[in-house]
A and B are shown apart, each in its own frame.
Chain A
Amino acid sequence: MKRKFDHSAPAALPNGPKYWRSLDELADTPGFREHLAREFPDGASSLEGVDRRQFMKLMAASFALGGIGLAGCRRPESHILPYGKSVEYTIPGLPLYFATAMPLRKWALPLLAETHQGRPTKLEGNPSYTPHGGASSLLAQASVLDLYDPERAVAHTKGGATLTTGQVNDLLAAIHKTYAGNGEGLAFLADQSSSPTRARLVAKLRQVYPRAVWAEYEPVQDEPPVAAAQASFGRNVRPLYRFAAAKRIVSLDADFLHSEAGALYYAREFAKGRRVVKADDDMNRLYVAESGFSLTGSMADHRLRLASNHMLALTAALANAVLETKVFAALTQGLDVNPEWIAKCAEDLRQHEGESLVVAGAHQPVQVHVLVNAINAKLGNLGKTVDFVAAEPDGASTIAALATAIKGGAVRTLVVVNGNPAYNAPADLEFGTLLKSVPDVIRFGYYADETSALAGTHLAATHYLESWGDARTVDGTIVPIQPMILPLFNGLMELELLARLAGETEAEAYTQVRTTLGGLTAGDPLKAFEKFLHDGLLENSAFPVVPVAFDPQRSAAVFAKNPAPAALSKDNLEVRFITDHKMDDGRFANNGWLQECPDPMTKISWDNAILISPRLAREMGIAPKGGLLQVARVEEADFVVGKENAHVGEVTVNGRTLRGPIHIQPGLSNYTVVVALGYGRSASGHIGTGTGCNAYAIRTSDAMGFVTGAKLVRTEQRALLANTQEHWSMEGRAIVREANLEEYHEEPAFAAALGMEAETPPLYGDMGPEELAKLSPEQRTRIAIARSTTTPRGNSLYETPDFSGEHAKFDGVHQWGMSIDLNTCIGCNACIIACQAENNIPIVGKDQVLRGREMQWIRLDRYYSDGQADAAAFGAEGNKILPEDPQVSLQPMTCQHCELAPCETVCPVNATVHDEEGINVMAYNRCIGTRYCANNCPYKVRRFNFFDFNKRALDALYMGPIGHQDDMPELVKMVKNPDVTVRMRGVMEKCTYCIQRIQQAKIAQKRQAGASGNVEIPDGTVRTACQQVCPVEAIVFGNVKDENSRVARLKAQDRNYAVLGYLNIRPRTTYLAKLRNPNPRMPDYAALPLSRVEYSRKNHPQHGEGKDAKPEHGGEHA
């Protein structure tokens, strides 16, 4: 009972007849009086089994949301209201989509959030933002899980006591009162942001507190230094690359496909230049010089392993060659690279003036960037493949300056806005200790983390899905951040915090954003704001392109003092700090989806590792040795009974030591040790605490990207790493089929000529060799392609059943199929997490991953090849050595929906069957879990629920009936997609082609068709989660029966092939073979992709180098 109302009797009875409404009233019973006084019926507040408060909150959130998205404004009430009146457009059971954006450092990803009854469950890229075309990233996909993290900060606290919202406001008002007008003793430390509103509020703060310190710190610098542009062009500009227009690309330690700012934007552009549709299409060529092994490096046509420290020398040498000068000769001292490599690369660039592009990693020193600008200017690329756009002036102080101020005792009140400096500040600042010396630290953050532990006051931040805000994309377009749900835990929005500190009277974040937008739009501000929210972006708000010219005189000043390349060796190692693929800088540490997602190169989940090159491993004596007889290639690390049993090592640099497991990573620069940031959190939560090692411990402010002079010592300890791929070699099997572009031009159907199926007579249907010979090459190609998808094979014991006519098996209107382009796939893992979010896939924890029980429906297979596999010389030396310089082939692998599915025939209970539209469907209710299907799946893509992963906590999986059987917290359940069954233990599961999306589209089409009976869904309506997220459009799904559908046209390409096609199981998912585009003039040119060399050696050993090797075959990689 909320409250009792006091119905006082009227002072005097009015004259006239007395009316009564019920006999009870007439009788005036005590029960009636009670009833009258109560707000709610008796017992309403003690309902069992339903968390009424939560329920009401959600309902209210839904109600509020309806208002937000549609009316464009949010109801300011925060009362509990019943869901008595339906929100406009809400149809129970159907999701609603709202535009928002995910901010990260200086750029944001425009998103569409899928909400079910006011509960965001899934994020998609906002298709209105054309450069992303509806794609999004791994981190964006996983960020929805953070919203429902039960370990997020759920209350404002001060000295352990909880603060109410009112108390927080008082606290902020008190700061304002104390410091307003002066600000002496007040300091702010914030993360970077692209929000125009925040910029406006920060300017306001500066006015209010003129002497306060406003410092910004990001542990990861993902944009080229501003100083480089200043030095090159004399303007405050930053580059915006146009990869689609670039035919020749040189990346100097720049992982522009993944970790640089705008990676999604660039990956999409890059794929446009990479995509090949017709046999005579050209594609871009990528040169990569790098110390680690990045995703960009894995796409390289020519990859040079070079220490980050030597990158300046290489850039200088390249600049000399391109500019045809010797000006930078001094800089090239100590560079140990084949000069031919640089000369031919430069030659290739010069031949493509205006359509080439050189980029350098953000962590590289200013000199490198200036040289790169010089090269691009010389090549005429400015304004063509690279634009420079106006950058906003950055007036923020640095964390180092702040640290000095704190040491000087000049800071009495420190407000830490987001970030986590106690964890990730440069080690030399010892920021944790400094924090303790500040009398009043107010921490505003999403998690109660390492910094919060040292702060007296913690203010709980809202998730961006609960916040009002705005942000800019990498090209500067302003995008809205609008809440999908009322703050679940009464958190505070960042903009409101700043507005209150700035003393704004209308401090609500919503008002602040509207104010900002009002200043940017013309016309009716409300309509403009509504359109802004509806579209999810503000049109024409991108940064303007600034015409620039390279200024050699000005830039010369940069080279006054140059870092000298260090002579690296086993005793003088370079340590390269990289942004982690999943944890980023550590902010996503408590996200289970991301922790469990394997790193795309190392395939390690739940950990980072000290990555070392095979050569260093050999010199340190920790390289695994192959036995006398080696059937398969030696694993890249010590696998003991299927678990990577890594040596624990200690990296010492400048007296600071990092201890962590060592993983041998082929493809690294010999004496570069790579460590990913973002792990080793000490106060993160159940998921994030204790995973990996904290690389910030050895990272100092003068060497944020890489540092030399490190030593690595191996200890006697071992640590287990949850590596999801134990074997690195393709073993000469035609799994990922590749060719060089030249070969493809000559033999477009090369993919069909590989693998077992190419050797078997039934290849061309019932046709004999004579009949075949009469056909034109085009016809032969056509047949060869069709063989794995449509043509029944004859002349075989295993003749394909005839499905036509009365035996029709696939008689549905649609026949679903998928095409995956291996040529554009960059291995970013976004599909894995998108699938996990869409399909309610549980995480299983490190222990279960170690046992090989990860549940992700999509697996990204990563193979290294060095051209050495040699089964004929069984036990040969080639089988025992880890490649130092391998080529990488990536392949997303998931259920292939075989038409003659081997899993279906063996299931005793008919739990996995085919539908008439060609989908291999799982009946979870029917499955008893014999796991026979998983055994018989040649792709091993079926996943089994060995425990109640959806119900039991990760540490209680083995507890059985005696363990605590508490269900997952309600909060965790809220992220589940209501359209997809949550599987229980003992049930097999696998990719369904997102059948829930197909069904919804079919229902919608059926309703739309009405009497016309046209139930065929238009092409492109159904997009699987993996397809939708894919930044490079490698995955295409659709109706293969419709010859004009995108997927059917892709499958008609000559690069189309089915993995393990020889089994005649006719998978509906087929792949487009990978192409490489090496430069024949380069010294490391190989006429065949190395995996093809392995294939030829394994399958045609009598032909020496292999039947496909061309005479000009240029030897192995250096």
Chain B
Amino acid sequence: MSSHSADTDAPAILAEVNPAPVPRRVLVANHRDFHWITEKVCGIVESKTPLWWWWCFGVAAFVASFTVAGLTYLVATGVGVWGHANPVNWAWDIVNFVFWIGIGHAGTLISAILCLLRQKWRTSINRPAEAMTIFAVVCAAIFPVFHVGRIWFAVLPGFLFPFPNANGIWQNFRSPLEWDVFAVSTYGTVSVLFWYIGLIPDLGTMRDRFTAAGNLLKARIYGFFAMGWRGSNRAWSNYEMAYLILAGIATPLVLSVHTVVSFDFAVALIPGWHTTIFPPYFVAGAIFSGFGMVMTLMLPLRAIYRLEDLITQYHIDCMCKITLATGTMVGYAYSMEFFIAWYGANPFEGFTFINRAFGVYWWSYWIMVTCNVVTPQFFWFKKVRENTTLVWILCLFVNVGMWFERFVIIATSLARDFLPSSWGYYSPSIVEIFTFFGTFGVFSVLFLLFIRFVPVMPMSEIKAVIPQADPHGADHHHGAAALESQA
């Protein structure tokens, strides 16, 4: 698409320096037009429910029932049905919580930060990534809520949630768990709002299409959620501003949520938890795992619905590179932890890290390092990035590795802390394993419902990044003037 034309009649000395224009990558391949995009995205919702969807939904619902059954048993019987014991009082519950919360990070990052940074490639993937965020937060919230001993009190106002009461008892605002309550609930709320605001124009489109097709029931339902969207100039203007404000609000949340989650450990005094590197390390890890999960979900979706024109190789490249960058940051953090443990000359700290790598849980440490540090290094190679199957497999490893990272941090530090007399070994119970396994079902059920009933891509936003959306036409689009105007 390079269309730079040199003017042969120009003087020897240029009146002004025209930097060599950077060829902009195409975000929608094959010159697809507005209509094609609308048809493609809406078609997924409007077409007859495919058989594979029913199969997937059935399996997912079955798997989700494991979580429901596990939690019912847990509440009815006691937390003892899980494998916790002194000294490892947190294990899979908090590992799973941090794992799912971490996955949620990519969604907000793509929606908010990339939006503010005008990374236009985000448009094809932000809707499913945001949906993924919300569903991941749902899965994440299960664990801290249910791992407590007396859930019937935990959910009452006045215990975890501040509530004026006659006794004047308030929460302990010094506790990182209390910060978690606020951080996660804020994050969940903002994520839902952000997702929903972004959906409104597309819901309007859906409503109009169903109205035109004569399906009034669906038209009403979509119409209800479209909140009277008419696509007027004023509506667009307000909409864009609302979206931008939400992006502004959500951006610090991307950093704050996982920072606060990392405080659960960093504020404690257990060797292996009590480290100041945790906030950036956790955020990097969260983004890393989030992008891993986005690709895990998007690549099959792309293949099934033939969305190659919308999710191009360029998109995959971008995501792979972010994964590579954050994975390397995580690797740096791992090595820095070791360095500080040695440099700090605290024997307890030093032991903890040696124990992580060579102690009873050595296998989990090396799974973590292999998956999180070694795996993303393959993304240096273009050939790897272009092999979608390979990318997908590598992303699975990233997901596994990030789960193990949380396990290594939480379980190994607790299992061998200060006094050797209380050292122990944690292994999960079958109830715990199935409850966690079931959350993948919960997530899948929600995600399948999402792709079935909600436009999986923001049509309006994609349309805005294709050449046709440029009012000045293709002539200037790649020219210097266009670049200037963009700047």
Contacts and interface: CB of A to CB of B under 8 A. Distances in A.
A796 B80 CA distance: 41
Contact of B176 (A641, A861, A906, A926): A906
Interface string A1044-1088: 000000000000000110010100000000000000000000000
A928 B148 contact: yes
B149 to A, nearest CB: 2
B359 interface: yes
Contacts of A373: none
Contact of A930 (B80, B148, B174, B420): B148
A242 B89 CA distance: 48
Which range holds the interface residue count of chain B?
35 or more
Interface stretch (A67-75, A417-425, A705-713, A958-966): A958-966
B177 A932 contact: yes
Contacts of B417: 938, 940
Contacts of A961: 76-77
B76 A906 contact: no
A936 interface: yes
Contact of A910 (B76, B86, B171, B416): B171
Nearest to B264: A932
Contacts of B425: 639, 641-642, 726
A960 B75 CA distance: 9
A419 to B, nearest CB: 38
A383 interface: no
Interface string A349-367: 0000000000000000000
Contacts of A629: 358
A961 B73 CA distance: 8
A945 B149 CA distance: 8
Interface string A893-906: 10000000010111
Contacts of B87: 852, 934-935, 940
Contacts of B359: 631-632
B148 A905 contact: no
A934 B78 CA distance: 17
Which range holds the interface residue count of chain A?
35 or more
A907 B178 CA distance: 8
Contact of A939 (B73, B85, B181, B418): B418
A944 interface: yes
A910 B169 contact: yes
A947 to B, nearest CB: 4
Interface stretch (A218-226, A263-271, A541-549, A730-738): A730-738
Given A725-B421, A874-B354, A905-B175, A927 B149 contact: yes
Contact of A906 (B83, B144, B151, B177): B177
Given A862-B421, A945-B149, A1099-B347, A932 B416 contact: no
B420 A934 contact: no
A520 interface: no
B79 interface: yes
B150 A1060 contact: no
Q: Is the interface of B mostly helix, strand, loop or mixed?
A: loop
Contacts of A731: 351, 420
Contact of A931 (B83, B90, B154): B90
A908 B83 CA distance: 23
Given A631-B359, A905-B175, A727 B90 contact: no
B211 interface: no
B331 to A, nearest CB: 22
A174 to B, nearest CB: 54
Contacts of A891: 421
A185 to B, nearest CB: 57
Contacts of A946: 78-80, 84-85, 149
Contact of A928 (B77, B83, B89, B154): B154
A577 interface: no
A891 B421 CA distance: 10
Interface in A1072-1111: 1098-1099
Given A631-B354, A927-B149, A932 B420 contact: no
B153 to A, nearest CB: 5
B420 A730 contact: yes
Contacts of A727: 420-421, 423
A543 B178 CA distance: 66
Given A932-B175, A938-B419, A906 B86 contact: no
B268 interface: yes
Contacts of B80: 848, 851, 853, 946-947, 957-958
A967 to B, nearest CB: 16
Interface in A871-910: 871, 874, 891, 893, 902, 904-910
Nearest to A603: B421
Interface string A4-46: 0000000000000000000000000000000000000000000
A927 B340 CA distance: 36
A149 B422 CA distance: 31
Interface string B395-424: 000000000000000000010111111111
A118 to B, nearest CB: 34
B189 interface: no
A462 interface: no
Given A909-B160, A986-B79, A938 B418 contact: yes
Interface in A774-812: none
A893 B419 CA distance: 10
Interface in A231-275: none
B238 interface: no
B81 A958 contact: yes
B421 A986 contact: no
B85 A853 contact: yes
B426 A642 contact: yes
A801 to B, nearest CB: 13
A863 interface: yes
B433 interface: no
Nearest to B74: A960
B270 interface: yes
B149 A940 contact: no
B172 interface: yes
A948 interface: yes
B78 A986 contact: yes
Nearest to B181: A908
A723 to B, nearest CB: 11
A939 B268 contact: no
B335 interface: no
Contacts of A908: 160, 171-172, 175, 177-178, 180-181
- Of B79, B160, B264, chain A has the most CB atoms within 10 Å of the CB of B79
A691 B373 CA distance: 50
Contact of B77 (A726, A854, A947): A947
A1103 to B, nearest CB: 15
A1060 B269 CA distance: 12
Contacts of B144: 930
B362 to A, nearest CB: 8
A729 B178 contact: no
A948 B85 CA distance: 15
A1101 to B, nearest CB: 11
Contacts of B77: 947, 957-961
A987 interface: yes
Contacts of B463: none
Nearest to A1065: B269
Interface string A975-1016: 000000000111110000000000000000000000000000
B418 to A, nearest CB: 5
A344 interface: no
Interface string A512-538: 000000000000000000000000000
Given A861-B419, A1060-B418, A944 B354 contact: no
B85 A852 contact: yes
6 contacts: A632-B420, A729-B420, A891-B421, A939-B422, A946-B79, A947-B77
Q: What are the nearest 7 A-B pairs in CB distance?
A: A929-B149, A986-B149, A946-B80, A642-B425, A960-B77, A852-B85, A861-B421
Given A930-B144, A936-B269, 6 more contacts: A642-B424, A727-B420, A729-B420, A854-B86, A906-B268, A932-B175
